[in-house]
Amino acid sequence: MRIALFATCIVDAMYPATARATVSILERLGHEVIFPAGQACCGQMHVNSGYLKEALPVVANHVKAFEDDEYDVAVAPSGSCVASVKHQHPMVARRCGDAGLEARAAAVGAKTYELSQLLVDVLGVTDAAAQLGSYFPHRIAYHPSCHGMRLLRLGDRQLDLLRSVGGIEVAELPEADQCCGFGGTFSMKNADVSSAMLADKTANICGTGADLCAGGDASCLMHIGGGLSRQGSGVTTMHFAEILASTLENPAAVSGDVRLTTGRTAR
């Protein structure tokens, strides 16, 4: 297949290793990955804050960027951004009275998948160790993001893929389905509530004895990782794409609070 990568702005700016891992996984399966050059933000922050008029040109830019290239499907390593493309983009165009853009946005959204959706539902990947050569000898906890669970209804796709990685140990995370407290601008507008939710989440993660917390949204992982770092816990975070891309020959290493896959430190 010819697959268009929707990197998302936070991955592009702060977590490029996640985008590289996504490309590595898909190329390992024999697919061609392209990068539509006109892509930028999906506008989720605008929409979630109620700025629909201001979101309209952002939506239009995304639609144009992903109309300009020939591809079979598009993929993003983010449940929240894919949820925005699929659900918010047509709604924004409709609410702003642009029926033409609404139809175009719906067409782009229909071809856009979150990474685990694409791997499991379209490409038939169910055993990461056997089909991808994934190997990651660490104990992890897994946090499912809210948009992935509730808007995309990903279910256990990400978790099942992680459990099939060679050498991995997946700990049971108490209250895994509870929000981490990020919610984009929610964490700024409701900082005290957000911090309390984060404290619950990090306490549960640390209680598992995991080396790191994995998830499918860089924004949630950034929020959780910041909380863990400020506590000096030594537990870090990693996108599940990086774990799937890790192999015995080329492992994604985790050592204390140092993210060797990206060269960044967690604190």
List, run by run, the mean pLDDT of 10-residue segments along the chain (267 residues).
96 95 98 96 92 97 94 96 96 97 98 98 98 97 91 93 98 93 85 93 96 95 94 94 96 58 32
Q: What pLDDT was estimated at residue 258?
A: 33
Q: What pLDDT was estimated at residue 263?
A: 33
Q: What pLDDT was estimated at residue 69?
A: 85
Specify the pTM: 0.91
Three-state SS for the chain is CEEEECCCHHHHHHCHHHHHHHHHHHHHCCCEEECCCCCCCCCHHHHHCCCHHHHHHHHHHHHHHHHCCCCCEEEECCHHHHHHHHHHHHHHHHHCCCHHHHHHHHHHHHCEEEHHHHHHHHCCCCCHHHHHCEECCCEEEEECCHHHHHCCCCCCHHHHHHHCCECCEECCCCCCCCCCCCCCCHHHHCHHHHHHHHHHHHHHHHHCCCCEEEECCHHHHHHHHHHHHHCCCCCEEEEHHHHHHCECCCCCCEECCEECCCCEECC
